[in-house]
């Protein structure tokens, strides 16, 4: 596919299969690496943004503007579709509409919204609290009405499983589908039977969330597709691997006074510059530079 050819939309990929596997990115560099690895989309993780921008956990501390700007940076760095974590929509239905409009303008191809109260917390933490289902239905309708492109997907997530049980969680998702949600997301199912039951009970594409060390079994994309999922995100794996590697780097540097023993485990200066497109940027810049003195113009 050439640089000018349009990429398949996320909606069409989900509709036609196979299951869409989407890693999370916590910044523009990690998003570039997702794209260069050949994935069809990238997830702009709210938790990852909180880790990287604030050095803080995913407990609702990240502001709307901080996340919008992070989505814009990620979308500007890649051509693949960006799924944006919109948390609770940062307020009521009117706030949801602003979130959808500005995230979409920032480059998001899909926006995820959830039915927690504000401030929210990571779906794999305990002590979550929820808004009433009817309030979330209104927020989903507001999101659908606010999007400028019919290709922009609205993903409705419920955290009700841990709070109200499976039947109530499925009822919520059914209501959110009725309000116009394109994808449904049951957060933190604890076992395969719950996952299978939810996929069978609902008539909209389902999204799975694989959190390493979280409450949900860590399954392969093939296993999730067999259960009935159409899209799976691995939102925090990149941040977890990066944090592990950075901790090892700084520990080694402090102990040895050098990074020499880690050279085979890092991208060296030229390698990283290639990842971020320095050769292409230099080539583009040369097109606009003045001709050398004495050079003939055509």
Residue 1 has pLDDT above 50, yes or no: no
Half-sphere exposure of 81 (CA within 13 A, CB side): 21
Domain spans in the chain, listed from the N-terminal domain onward: 10-236, 244-287
| Position 165 pLDDT exceeds 60 | yes
pLDDT of residue 292: 75
Query: Which CATH number does the domain 10-236 belong to among 3.40.47.10, 3.30.428.10, 3.20.20.60, 3.40.50.300?
Result: 3.20.20.60
**Closest to 114 measured CA to CA, from 53, 125, 106, 218:** 125
CB 52 within 8 A of CB 28: no
- Determine what percent of the chain is predicted with pLDDT higher than 90: 89
pLDDT at 128: 86
Residue 68 CB contacts under 8 Å (≥ 6 apart), including other chains: 99, 102, 103, 106
- Mode of pairing for the β-strands spanning 231-234 and 153-158: unpaired
pLDDT at 281 over 90: yes
Q: What is the pLDDT of residues 102-161, one digit of tens each?
A: 999 999 999 999 999 987 877 777 778 999 999 999 999 999 999 999 999 999 999 999
Q: Mean pLDDT across the stretch 21-49?
A: 97
Q: What is the pLDDT of residues 222-235, one digit of tens each?
A: 999 999 999 999 99
Q: What is the mean pLDDT of the chain?
A: 94
Lowest-pLDDT range of 57-61, 90-94, 113-117, 276-280: 57-61
């Amino acid at each position: 596919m050439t640089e000018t050819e349009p990429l398949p939309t996320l909606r069409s990929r989900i509709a036609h299969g196979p299951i869409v596997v989407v890693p999370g990115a916590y910044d523009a560099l990690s998003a570039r690496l997702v794209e260069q690895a050949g994935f069809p989309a990238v997830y702009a993780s709210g938790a990852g943004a909180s880790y990287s921008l604030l050095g803080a956990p995913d407990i609702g501390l990240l502001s709307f503007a901080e996340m919008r700007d992070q989505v814009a940076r990620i979308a500007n760095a890649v051509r693949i579709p960006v799924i944006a974590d919109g948390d609770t929509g940062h307020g009521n239905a009117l706030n949801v509409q602003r979130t959808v409009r500005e995230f979409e303008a920032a480059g998001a191809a899909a926006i995820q919204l959830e039915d927690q109260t504000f401030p929210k917390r990571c779906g794999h933490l305990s002590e979550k609290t929820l808004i009433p289902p009817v309030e979330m239905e209104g927020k989903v309708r507001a999101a659908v009405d606010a999007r400028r492109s019919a290709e922009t997907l609205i993903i409705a997530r419920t955290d009700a499983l841990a709070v109200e049980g499976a039947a109530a969680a499925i009822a919520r998702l059914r209501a959110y589908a009725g309000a116009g949600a394109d994808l449904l997301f049951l957060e933190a199912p604890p076992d395969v039977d719950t996952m299978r039951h939810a996929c069978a009970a609902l008539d909209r594409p389902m999204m799975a969330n694989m959190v390493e060390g979280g409450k949900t079994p860590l399954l392969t994309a093939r296993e999730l597709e067999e259960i009935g999922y159409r899209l799976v995100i691995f939102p925090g794996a990149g941040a977890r691997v990066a944090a592990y590697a950075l901790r090892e780097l700084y520990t080694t540097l402090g102990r040895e006074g050098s990074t020499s023993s880690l050279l085979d485990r890092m991208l060296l200066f030229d390698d990283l510059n290639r990842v971020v497109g320095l050769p292409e940027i230099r080539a583009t810049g040369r097109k606009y530079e003045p001709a050398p003195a004495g050079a003939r113009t055509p």
